Amino acid sequence: MPQPAKIRIDLNSPVPAYRQIVDAIRVLLVEGRLAPGTALPSVRRLAMELGVHFNTVGEAYRALADEGWLDLRHGRSAIILDRAQRAPAPPERLLEFRDRLRGLIAQMRADGVPAARIAAELKNITEGLKS
């Protein structure tokens, strides 16, 4: 039975709500739990379900469209695109990702998560994201 494609955000998180929505939907897209051609809920419906402003969801959808994940034509639902494999990210983008990862891992270590556990989590996540 396929897993439900659920997203979860925390309004008390320091990460802006729109960024949390983008990140959560991107995970579902990369994991293949949202198939190309299917429609996402309307901005209004998703905003209502999450209890956030319409603009927050609209901004998240536009960010995903800019990344090539969504087709946002006026008057239509947001349709998931069959996104072709992109060329590998340039070195400077990789450096940026590495910095973000280092920051996150440092935070996990500071919160007492053992290094072996972090490595295992990273491996699991990487396996899950192979699409």
Partner 1 sequence: MSLNLIFAIAMVLISACTLALPELSPARFLFGVRVGARFRKSEPARQARRVYYAHDITGILLTIAIAAAAGLSHIGIWYLVVIVPEIFAGIGYMRANRSLRPFAAPPELASVREADLSLEPDRLPRWMLLALPPFVLPVAGALWVNAHWSEIPARVPIHYGPDGQPNGWTTRTPLHLYGWFIFITGILVLLLAMSIVGYYGARRSPGRRTMLAMMIAVMYPMSLIFSSIGVWVAHHYPIWITLAVLPPFIAAMFWWNHKRSRDPQPPADTTPDECWSVGDVYSNPNDPALFVPKRMGYGYTINFGNPAGKWVFAGFFTGIGLMVGFLFWMHS
Binding site for partner 1 (CB under 8 A): 2, 4-12, 25, 28, 33-34, 39-41, 44-54
Query: How is residue 72 written in tokens?
Result: 């946002």
Determine the Cα–Cα distance for residues 123 and 104; give it in Å rounded to an integer.
15
Of 51 and 91, the one with the shorter C-beta distance to partner 1 is 51
Of 22 and 34, the one with the shorter C-beta distance to partner 1 is 34
Question: Cβ of residue 123: shortest distance to partner 1, in angstroms?
Answer: 27
**Run of H or E residues at 114:** none
Q: Residue 38 contacts by C-beta under 8 Å, 6 or more apart in sequence?
A: 79, 80
Query: How is residue 35 written in tokens?
Result: 């198939």
Determine the Cα–Cα distance for residues 41 and 63; give it in Å rounded to an integer.
16
Determine the Cα–Cα distance for residues 77 and 80; give it in Å rounded to an integer.
9
Of 39 and 101, the one with the shorter C-beta distance to partner 1 is 39
Question: Cβ of residue 40: shortest distance to partner 1, in angstroms?
Answer: 6
Question: Cβ of residue 119: shortest distance to partner 1, in angstroms?
Answer: 28
Of 4 and 90, the one with the shorter C-beta distance to partner 1 is 4
Question: Cβ of residue 107: shortest distance to partner 1, in angstroms?
Answer: 19
